[in-house]
Amino acid sequence: MEKQWQVFYYDSIFHTMDYCKIDEALSKKEGEKVKIRGWIYRRRSAGKISFIVIRDSTGIIQTIVEKDKVSEKDFKASQKALIESSVELEGIIHEDNRAPGGREIHAINFRVINFADDFPITEYQSVEFLLDNRHLWLRSRKLTEIMKLKAKTLRIIRRWFDENDFYEVTPTVITLNAAEGGATAFSFKYFDQKAYLSQTAQMYLEALIFSLERVWSLTPSFRAEKSRTRKHLTEYWHLEAEEAWVDNEENMKIQEELVSYVCQNLMKEANNELEFLGRRKDELKVIEPPFKRISYEKALKKLQKKGFDVKWGDDFGAPHERVLVEGEEKPIFVTNFPIETKAFYMKISSDKKTVKCADMLAPEGYGELIGGSERSEDIDSMIKRLKAQGANIENYQWYFDLRRYGSVPHSGFGLGLERLIMWIAKLDHIRDATPFPRMVRRASP
RNA sequence: GCCGGCGUAGCUCAGCGGUGGAGCAUCCGGCUGUUAACCGGACGGUCGCCGGUUCGAAUCCGGUCGCCGGCGCCA
């Protein structure tokens, strides 16, 4: 590359702040003057005319740079600048049905802020290459739309919790308790102790309900499971809530209200994102309470009738989940799993065989969105179940204290944010629901 | 952890025992309306790595490393 193309022009003519975003430019009228800045998305040239498609956070617009309409330096820059070069320009809006989007800018000035090197991502890409270049692939329209959808989802979730008397809290992600059984937790040296990256904030949220009553948190959760599926990340954003004075029934109501609220509001607030990603509005419109509830026992019978070789005490796998949601437009709850299939902290039902829990399964085979339960208040039974897993009881004494000092019936749930996004955005892999996916074989970039 | 697949130019792939190819990208030239533009030319390789078979290996065999997909486990 010649030295002259590496000059930083930023202090040249565009020192004012009167730029407009591309979506705004696309709504302007014929003849209006605009200044925009962004990155080169596509470029084509034909002798004395350059077609430069420019991208910013709001969209793309085609720009025409003609040889006799701009300075020689600007024209040359427009022909030299490669994809992803950062640029700023001033021009006149023209309506033209040959332009993508029906409008384009005829440049008066065209400045390159940074001449990009050859952008490695081109026409054909493999999954591996795109993951290796994730830091650059994030600029793609698909990932941009997903990231916007995720941000809007979080905004809506926060609004719902605010309106429903929940306090947002900030629990730790460093713990000595490997809550779901030590084998699947990442361990590390914490000074002189062995500690774990949190798999759930649940026990910490339980401690907080005795002052705040209804709490929620958003934290990373870590799973050291060597899962190789399209539904698993080793690090994911875990949305958890815990509610005092709430039983399993009301817990399910809270969950279906929350998920429905997210769908109804995304429908209104994320039109462009949903359309780009191929999720139809009417598919979200039907997501309203109540969601269907089916007990583990009934689900088991349904599966057996369909020819699955499952018996009482087996957990459901991906093929089972797919069958259970077959034909369902809304998520469903599967309730009352056998004690031995679930965690030590879930409350045992009066039948002494099942726990008061519910898994929310997404339609279309996207799998478990939420796992929730009413919490046990029986210290002896919890100790028994922990010991059966081989856990160190000492680390759980503080948790048992919560039952010793004014315990109340309470429930809570955990939602995998990326699972929710994967379902709503119709993604074929969960890795695209997060900017820097962490998987068994990938921790970079 | 189990099963299957793939590693060849910067990228996507073809070649499957006899002198390593194409498309895209990049560079040079041409073109005043392109739509992942087009036309001509150039540049570009430890054929993942190690070993074996063979007169000869990208190609056949063994091992190894990396990646992808599915199952299990989970959100």
Average pLDDT, chain A: 90
- Report the 3 state secondary structure along A163-210: HCCCEECCCCCEECCCCCCHHHCCEEEECCEEEEECCCCHHHHHHHHH
pLDDT, tens digit (0-9, with 9 covering 90-100), for A44-64: 988 899 999 999 999 999 999
Q: What is the average per-residue pLDDT within A233-257?
A: 96
Q: Which nucleotide across the nucleic acid strands is nearest to A223, CA versus C1'?
A: B74
A148/A96 same-domain check = no
Q: Is the CB of A259 under 7 A from strand B?
A: no
pLDDT of residue A386: 86
pLDDT at A331 over 70: yes
pLDDT at A341 over 90: no
Residues 111-130 of A with CB under 7 A from strand B: 118-120, 122-129
pLDDT at A145 over 60: yes
In a domain, A45, yes or no: yes
pLDDT, tens digit (0-9, with 9 covering 90-100), for A111-135: 999 999 999 888 778 888 888 889 9
A259/A298 same-domain check = yes
pLDDT at A164 over 90: yes
Q: What is the average per-residue pLDDT within A187-206?
A: 91
Which CATH number do you get for residue A328? Answer: 3.30.930.10
* Contact between A108 and A69 (Cβ < 8 Å): yes
Q: Is the CB of A234 under 7 A from strand B?
A: yes
pLDDT at A4 over 50: no
A76/A144 same-domain check = no
pLDDT of residue A9: 47
Q: What are phi and psi of A149, to 5 degrees?
A: -60, -40
Q: What is the average per-residue pLDDT within A228-256?
A: 94
Number of DSSP helices (H) and strands (E) in chain A, helices first? 14, 16
State how far the Cα of A231 lies from the Cα of A142, in Å rounded to an integer.
19
pLDDT of residue A226: 84
Quick one: which of A161, A7, A146, A150 has its CA closest to A73? A7
> What is A84-130 written as a DSSP string?
T-EEEEEEEEEE-TTSTTSEEEEEEEEEEEEPPPPPS--S---HHHH
Q: What is the average per-residue pLDDT within A102-115?
A: 93
Using 50, 70 and 90 to split pLDDT, how confident is the model at A179?
Answer: low
Residue A10 domain boundaries? 3-114
Using 50, 70 and 90 to split pLDDT, how confident is the model at A289?
Answer: very high
pLDDT of residue A6: 43
Q: What is the average per-residue pLDDT within A81-97?
A: 93
Q: What is the average per-residue pLDDT within A327-350?
A: 93
A149/A71 same-domain check = no
Q: What is the average per-residue pLDDT within A74-81?
A: 92
Q: What percent of chain A has pLDDT over 90?
A: 71
Choose the final residue of a domain: A114, A143, A164.
A114
In a domain, A124, yes or no: no
pLDDT of residue A353: 93
**A125-129, A277-281, A311-315, A384-388 — most confident range:** A277-281
A280/A348 same-domain check = yes
Q: Which nucleotide across the nucleic acid strands is nearest to A42, CA versus C1'?
A: B36
Q: Is the CB of A382 under 7 A from strand B?
A: no
Q: Which nucleotide across the nucleic acid strands is nearest to A82, CA versus C1'?
A: B26
A138/A99 same-domain check = no
CA/C1' separation A330–B20 (Å): 56
pLDDT at A178 over 90: no
pLDDT of residue A183: 56
Q: What is the average per-residue pLDDT within A253-264?
A: 97
Q: Nearest protein residue to B1's C1' (by CA)? A: A226
Quick one: which of A102, A133, A103 has its CA closest to A36? A103
Using 50, 70 and 90 to split pLDDT, how confident is the model at A102?
Answer: confident
A137/A106 same-domain check = no
| Number of independent structural domains in chain A | 2
User: ipTM for the complex?
Assistant: 0.87
Quick one: which of A198, A189, A203, A205 has its CA closest to A220? A198
What's the length of chain A?
445
pLDDT of residue A128: 85
State how far the Cα of A112 lies from the Cα of A252, in Å rounded to an integer.
55
Residues 425-444 of A with CB under 7 A from strand B: 429-430, 439, 441-442
Q: Nearest protein residue to B12's C1' (by CA)? A: A124
Q: Which nucleotide across the nucleic acid strands is nearest to A131, CA versus C1'?
A: B67
In a domain, A444, yes or no: no
In a domain, A438, yes or no: no
pLDDT of residue A310: 87
CA/C1' separation A429–B64 (Å): 30
* Contact between A204 and A171 (Cβ < 8 Å): yes
A90/A170 same-domain check = no
A308/A394 same-domain check = yes
A193/A269 same-domain check = yes
pLDDT at A410 over 90: yes
In a domain, A443, yes or no: no
Residues 128-147 of A with CB under 7 A from strand B: 128-129, 131
State how far the Cα of A112 lies from the Cα of A40, in Å rounded to an integer.
10
In this structure, the strands spanning A193-197 and A187-190 are antiparallel
Q: Which nucleotide across the nucleic acid strands is nearest to A46, CA versus C1'?
A: B31
Q: Which nucleotides of B are covered by protein (CB under 7 A)?
A: 1-3, 10-13, 23-27, 30-38, 66-75
In a domain, A126, yes or no: no
Which CATH number do you get for residue A77? Answer: 2.40.50.140
State how far the Cα of A157 lies from the Cα of A201, in Å rounded to an integer.
18
Q: What is the average per-residue pLDDT within A383-412?
A: 90
* Contact between A415 and A268 (Cβ < 8 Å): no
